Structure 1
Amino acid sequence: MAPVIVPVQSSLDIPPSTTVVVIGGGIIGLTAALTLVERGISVVILEKGQIAAEQSSRNLGWIRKTGRDQFDLPLSVESDRLWSEMPRRVETDVGYRQAGIMYVARTEVEMAGHETWIKSVGGQSLDSRLLSPANIDQLVPGGSGKWVGGIFTPSDGRAEPTLASSAIAAAAMAKGAVVVENCAVRTLVMSAGRVSGVMTERGEIRCEQVLLAGGMWSRRFLGNLGVSLPTLPLVASVFRTAPMDGPTEIAVGAADFSFRKRHDGGYTITQRGALYTPLMLDHLLIGYRYLPTLMAQWKNLRVSLGRDFLKDMSLGRHWNASARSPLERVRTMDPPVNEALNSDALRNLSKAWPVFNSVVVKQSWAGMIDVTPDSLPVISPVAKVPGLTVASGFSGHGFGTSPAAGQLAADLVTGGAPIVDPAPYRLERL
């Protein structure tokens, strides 16, 4: 069962024209739209299902700089700043708390990775620091884990996925954006060699620019246009507990579990180390590009071949503007929960912090993540399709970096000075 999000009162009508159309009502598309409308640019957000019904409401809610790729770190730093401003910006609580994020290490190899990362970002003015076992016990009391050490960034934080996207959507609408749910974009309309509109299931909307922020659906949409976006699906299973007295407000990650405090007093928990992926046609088409990652992580993979492959094949890869698209046939991707992974996470966590032995599990869910070969997103114009910009492939990092990622996408759409260097996110790198 999917998390329950705050509902959004979207528009029932679609306008005949606008300046920018945003395809996808997840948190990246919403933050981009909010940025655009704040700049006085008219924007329409088109969502094939419900706002934030897929990964934007199903993620862990972590907002972190810790462990980020060096190329991705500036985006994370800017997102920290923008998250801290978000409650004022949208005039409501999005669950943002700057409570810190900690990773704990059981082995010297794990600890060496944290040490290497600290050295690599030494000039970034971060507040990250290495921890001894005694430091861990002080910050997160009541533990029984045998830790070699850890790493802690006090300025990292969290927000609530079930609150944030709805609040951002409401703020964008209050400032003039139009949000339309249950309205899939089938394809682009081109004139004189560039984008001039989108064709939806309810007709055409003329526009000057299009931002594609379709999450895991972006690869299929672009493929229909003859553009390759290499992403593969990864399913994460998560559960939440009833309110409880936990050991800390700090979000904590180990090799085989993570937990973080929720705004309702419970905890969100997952199995960090085990990866689950349903095999699909794309694994055969582009899986070789992921071989370095697969070789390093093969012990942690949980792979299945069955119904998902057949369902994916039945959706089709090519369609025209007059045909019902795969985006209409699956309004919301709702993968089944891997309860074995959730049970494993709780078992591992309870051994490390026994207070979790008595938790009451209130709900579990799963979400599908779109992963690129280098785990960095694509935030980039599409050279082959002038007037089209893409912001997808966030590889599980989209929620935490969404304020700056959405602003960067808006910067590229409008040709403004980018909030960070966009070079690491170019489509051409892939």
Structure 2
Amino acid sequence: MGPQVDTLAPDPDIPAQADVVIVGGGIIGVSAALFLAQRGVSVVLCEKGHIAGEQSSRNWGWVRKARRDPREIPLIVESLRLWEGMNETVEAETGFRRTGIVFAADNEEDVARYETWLDHARPYQIDARLISGSELDQQMPGAGSRWKAALFCGTDGRAEPQKAAPAIAAAARRRGAVILTDCAVRGLDRQGGRIVAAVTERGYIRCKSVVVAGGAWSRRFLKDLGLTLPQLKVRSSVMRTAPLEGVPETALWCKDFAFRRRLDGGYNIANGNVNVVPIVPDSFRFFADFLPALRSDHKSLKLRPDGRFVQEWREAAPVPLDQISPYEKTRVLDPAPDRRYLRKALASLSSMYPAFAGTRVVQEWAGLIDVMPDAIPVISPVEDVPGLVVATGFSGHGFGIGPGAGRLIADLVTGATPVVDPREFRFSRFSDGSKPRPIAGI
């Protein structure tokens, strides 16, 4: 069972029309709704389950610039600026705090990789730097003799995934957005190639634009429109503890574990170097697309067969829009956590900070991350479907980058000057011969 998310009562009535319909109520969808509503655009957000029911409430809660893919740096810089004022913007607690994040380096190879990243980051004047010895001990007591060095960014921070998206959605509604939950969008109605309506389980919503921010469901949704999105899923597991004293406020990542303090005084803990990749029919279809990523990250990506193969096989066929869709049959993706990896992470963490040895584990959960072959998202109009904007494939980076992505989506929908250059996030990069690849060493 997933984490307890702050509840948000839906609007009772479905509008007959809107300027924009957003498919998906995660951090990306609600952020887009907020920025569109702020501009006076009439927007309806449709979520098949509840707000932040999937990965937007199940992630680590990190909000970071450090070790970002260089192509994402302009967007995360904007996103951090928005996070810093988010509590005031939404008039609620999102949990955002600047606490700093440390990425440990075990050896000279790690140090060299972080130095390369700093070269990428330098033009953006990001305050990250390499630290070691007593300076590392100051940020992370006991770490100075444990690791060769670390990458530290003091202005990075955290927010609470179970609070942030519901708070942003509520703020969007106060500005005029309509928020519908338990309301799946089954597909789109088009005339002359253009979008004229979103077809939901509760009826039609006439509109001119649709934003698909469906996370791990986006590949399935777009396939029914005749669009190929090379997207797969990665299962990531997290545990949280009861409130705990005597542990640093600064967040830490190393190859054995990662942790960060929660607003309630407990800690989120994860395995720092394990991601489970369910083998599904699309694994074979997109094998060539993802092969470079598998080669560069083969130690941390664990390919595993599980029940998702059969489920996705059964869900693959198109369903008429007047019939119950797969999105209604599975309101929330709620995979079982990988407890073996979590226990291993907790044991390693306890050896460094004994305070964790006796802590009470309150809950464990997992989520499915929507990943792309080059590990950066698609935030883009689709030329073949006028009025369609896709925002998905955030590859585990979506929570921190969410507000910036929401603003960029609003720019693309309204035709405003984009807050950052969106070229790297274009949908067409998978069909224009670009051969997208992850950036090695990040």
Are residues 1:346 and 2:346 paired?
Answer: yes
The 5 Å alignment of 1:101-250 reads 101-143=101-143, 146-250=146-250
Aligned to 1:319: 319
1:170 Cα offset (Å): 0.8
Aligned to 1:87: 87
Which runs of no fewer than 5 residues in structure 2 stay unpaired?
431-442
Decide whether the 8 Å contact of 2:244 with 2:355 is kept in 1.
Answer: no
Question: How many angstroms apart in 2 are the aligned matches of 1:119 and 1:6?
Answer: 40
1:300 Cα offset (Å): 2.5
**Amino acid paired to 1:197:** A
1:323 Cα offset (Å): 2.1
Are residues 1:333 and 2:333 paired?
Answer: yes
**Amino acid paired to 1:172:** A
Aligned to 1:427: 427
Question: How many angstroms apart in 1 are the aligned matches of 2:149 and 2:356?
Answer: 21
Are residues 1:374 and 2:348 paired?
Answer: no
1:145 Cα offset (Å): 6.1
Decide whether the 8 Å contact of 1:142 with 1:355 is kept in 2.
Answer: no
Decide whether the 8 Å contact of 2:133 with 2:144 is kept in 1.
Answer: no
Question: How many angstroms apart in 2 are the aligned matches of 1:162 and 1:145?
Answer: 36
Question: How many angstroms apart in 2 are the aligned matches of 1:217 and 1:119?
Answer: 36
**Amino acid paired to 1:107:** N
Percentage identity across paired residues of the two chains: 47
- Comparing 130-139 with 177-186, greater Cα deviation is found at 130-139
The 5 Å alignment of 1:14-33 reads 14-33=14-33
1:320 Cα offset (Å): 2.1
- Alpha-carbon distance change, 89 to 397 in structure 1, aligned in 2, over 3 angstroms: same
Question: How many angstroms apart in 1 are the aligned matches of 2:169 and 2:259?
Answer: 27
1:388 Cα offset (Å): 0.4
**Amino acid paired to 1:123:** P
Question: How many angstroms apart in 2 are the aligned matches of 1:182 and 1:375?
Answer: 30
Aligned to 1:307: 307
Question: How many angstroms apart in 2 are the aligned matches of 1:324 and 1:135?
Answer: 58
- Comparing 127-136 with 156-165, greater Cα deviation is found at 127-136
Aligned to 1:63: 63
Decide whether the 8 Å contact of 1:144 with 1:354 is kept in 2.
Answer: no
Aligned to 2:34: 34
Question: How many angstroms apart in 2 are the aligned matches of 1:149 and 1:19?
Answer: 51
**Amino acid paired to 1:221:** F
1:143 Cα offset (Å): 4.7
- Alpha-carbon distance change, 197 to 145 in structure 1, aligned in 2, over 3 angstroms: farther
Aligned to 2:10: 10
- Comparing 284-293 with 34-43, greater Cα deviation is found at 284-293
Decide whether the 8 Å contact of 2:230 with 2:372 is kept in 1.
Answer: yes
1:52 Cα offset (Å): 0.7
Question: How many angstroms apart in 2 are the aligned matches of 1:246 and 1:207?
Answer: 54
Aligned to 1:98: 98
1:351 Cα offset (Å): 2.4
Decide whether the 8 Å contact of 2:18 with 2:42 is kept in 1.
Answer: yes
Aligned to 1:385: 385
Aligned to 1:283: 283
- Alpha-carbon distance change, 147 to 112 in structure 1, aligned in 2, over 3 angstroms: same
Question: How many angstroms apart in 2 are the aligned matches of 1:292 and 1:28?
Answer: 27
The 5 Å alignment of 1:398-413 reads 398-413=398-413
Question: What SS class does the counterpart of residue 71 from structure 2 fall into?
Answer: coil
1:169 Cα offset (Å): 0.8
Question: How many angstroms apart in 2 are the aligned matches of 1:77 and 1:306?
Answer: 38
Aligned to 2:435: none
TM-score by length of 1: 0.98
Q: Deviations over 1:225-257 (max 9, x none)?
A: 110111110000000011001421111111121
Question: How many angstroms apart in 2 are the aligned matches of 1:38 and 1:340?
Answer: 45
Q: CA RMSD in A?
A: 1.2
- Alpha-carbon distance change, 306 to 122 in structure 1, aligned in 2, over 3 angstroms: closer
Aligned to 1:415: 415
Question: How many angstroms apart in 2 are the aligned matches of 1:348 and 1:84?
Answer: 33
Q: Deviations over 1:336-386 (max 9, x none)?
A: 111001011112222233332222111100000010000000000011110
Q: Deviations over 1:368-410 (max 9, x none)?
A: 0010000000000011110100100000000000001011011
Decide whether the 8 Å contact of 1:281 with 1:312 is kept in 2.
Answer: yes
**Amino acid paired to 1:401:** I
Question: How many angstroms apart in 1 are the aligned matches of 2:307 and 2:190?
Answer: 36
Q: Deviations over 1:150-174 (max 9, x none)?
A: 0100111110001101101111111
**Amino acid paired to 1:408:** L
Decide whether the 8 Å contact of 1:316 with 1:326 is kept in 2.
Answer: no
Q: Deviations over 1:242-279 (max 9, x none)?
A: 10014211111111211000000010010020111211
1:142 Cα offset (Å): 4.2
**Amino acid paired to 1:114:** Y
Question: How many angstroms apart in 1 are the aligned matches of 2:41 and 2:177?
Answer: 9
Which runs of no fewer than 5 residues in structure 1 stay unpaired?
none
Question: What SS class does the counterpart of residue 358 from structure 1 fall into?
Answer: coil
1:133 Cα offset (Å): 2.7
Question: How many angstroms apart in 2 are the aligned matches of 1:381 and 1:182?
Answer: 26
Number of corresponding residues: 430
- Alpha-carbon distance change, 161 to 145 in structure 1, aligned in 2, over 3 angstroms: farther
Decide whether the 8 Å contact of 1:379 with 1:427 is kept in 2.
Answer: yes
Decide whether the 8 Å contact of 1:18 with 1:207 is kept in 2.
Answer: yes
Aligned to 1:396: 396
Decide whether the 8 Å contact of 1:142 with 1:247 is kept in 2.
Answer: no
Are residues 1:268 and 2:268 paired?
Answer: yes
Decide whether the 8 Å contact of 2:111 with 2:149 is kept in 1.
Answer: yes
Are residues 1:293 and 2:293 paired?
Answer: yes
**Amino acid paired to 2:151:** I
- Comparing 257-266 with 129-138, greater Cα deviation is found at 129-138
